[in-house]
Structure 1
């Protein structure tokens, strides 16, 4: 089993002192039940339609305030969970991508929590959550063309030894480490603030773990709790 040891820069505590997250390292295996992701999405849509969970609005509002703390404009660049839930409320669904991405998007939607999924084989070094100095490069696509752009100075980013893997904390993932269902080593991070009960964070993590085990029964999974919050 491979290890993922994410680190959090000390300056992050100034931006979000109650931040805590679950980190999941997953050795992928053959997908046996490809419908698991779609089924999870259907449950997530029902949950949002029923108004759950009770703390969702407060949690997403807290993420918006954290984004403002480092200069982002949450109405233009919302946290990933807020963007997904707004799309569900507006259109009733989100686009299906592949079984693994659908599964972690479903967890994000149902539990109102940003969830990232990355192909760890594309990483160089370990994931680090840091405040950017403005020189870190991020690979993305604009108008169908691959480009590199620099993170803004003061922006919170996930990065590795090469560059930024996710801008504005959890707003947009890069192309280099983008996860697909055939990845052999996967890394997931479920990110929460104190407005989300820690029991709910563990429930969301359990839902992702159980879904992955249904999807690919041969997968090996290791879970680690990280952050500053009181567990």
Structure 2
């Protein structure tokens, strides 16, 4: 199982094709210490700001979201069925006026994703086997999305986050999985802050640092950096 010694491997060919991101472990966080009302109030404020501002192609995150769509096209991903997680969040707010409320920890990183347009993910490190690699899929990987009762096929030639047991942890930056979903009992995290060719290293690093500052403020924990963009 994953631990503080877990490593992250970033396929060089994917980096050359425009994938970028900042990745870390957060060890020993305590979800019971958090002020759920304070986190909910913070998320409410972010949602209000997004609703009050321009949306769609006029919104501040529009270039970032367009970058994910362009990235999907470059990898021949079906763009109508597989939409980046931050764009899905924004559409949810535009349609329903809020983001899905899951757990304070999940709500917090979703709020940062909504603010920045970046694709964020948190995975229960204790459920990860070995190291994590961001690489092309071969189609042989096991993939069971969050909420799915059984594994589903994954296409060869996509990029994904995959552990040493050949299990997909996140398909593209679109869908996380049952295996490593965060629960109220999670104490150690593998964190993803992924950009695309439209995002600068400074944007990605700022999003990562914003996320980590909020997580450590509310839940504590020890940060172990794995990768930051050049």
Aligned position for 1:64:
69
TM-score (norm 1): 0.86
Question: Would the alpha carbon gap of residues 2 and 220 (structure 1) be closer, same or farther in structure 2, given more than 3 Å must change?
Answer: same
Question: Would the alpha carbon gap of residues 37 and 3 (structure 1) be closer, same or farther in structure 2, given more than 3 Å must change?
Answer: farther
Give the CA deviation at 1:20: 2.2
- The answer to whether the 8 A contact 1:45-1:93 is kept is yes
Give the CA deviation at 1:118: 0.1
- The answer to whether the 8 A contact 2:146-2:176 is kept is no
2:170 corresponds to which of 146, 150, 166:
166
Question: Secondary structure of 2:54's partner?
Answer: coil
Question: Would the alpha carbon gap of residues 155 and 136 (structure 1) be closer, same or farther in structure 2, given more than 3 Å must change?
Answer: same
When the two structures are aligned, how many residues end up with a matched partner?
A: 222
TM-score (norm 2): 0.86
- The answer to whether the 8 A contact 2:119-2:193 is kept is yes
Give the CA deviation at 1:223: 3.0
Question: Would the alpha carbon gap of residues 67 and 36 (structure 1) be closer, same or farther in structure 2, given more than 3 Å must change?
Answer: farther
Aligned position for 1:51:
54
Question: Would the alpha carbon gap of residues 198 and 10 (structure 1) be closer, same or farther in structure 2, given more than 3 Å must change?
Answer: closer
After superposition, the C-alpha distances for 1:130-150 in whole angstroms (9 at most, x for unaligned) are: 1111111112367xx621123
- The answer to whether the 8 A contact 1:140-1:175 is kept is yes
Higher helix share: 2
Give the CA deviation at 1:207: 2.1
Aligned position for 2:223:
221
After superposition, the C-alpha distances for 1:87-114 in whole angstroms (9 at most, x for unaligned) are: 1122210111001100110011111010
The reply to whether residue 179 of structure 1 matches residue 150 of structure 2 is: no
Give the CA deviation at 1:54: 6.3
Higher strand share: 1
The reply to whether residue 129 of structure 1 matches residue 134 of structure 2 is: yes
Aligned position for 2:201:
198
Aligned position for 1:153:
156
Question: Secondary structure of 2:46's partner?
Answer: helix
Gaps of 5+ in 2: none
Aligned position for 2:25:
25
Gaps of 5+ in 1: none
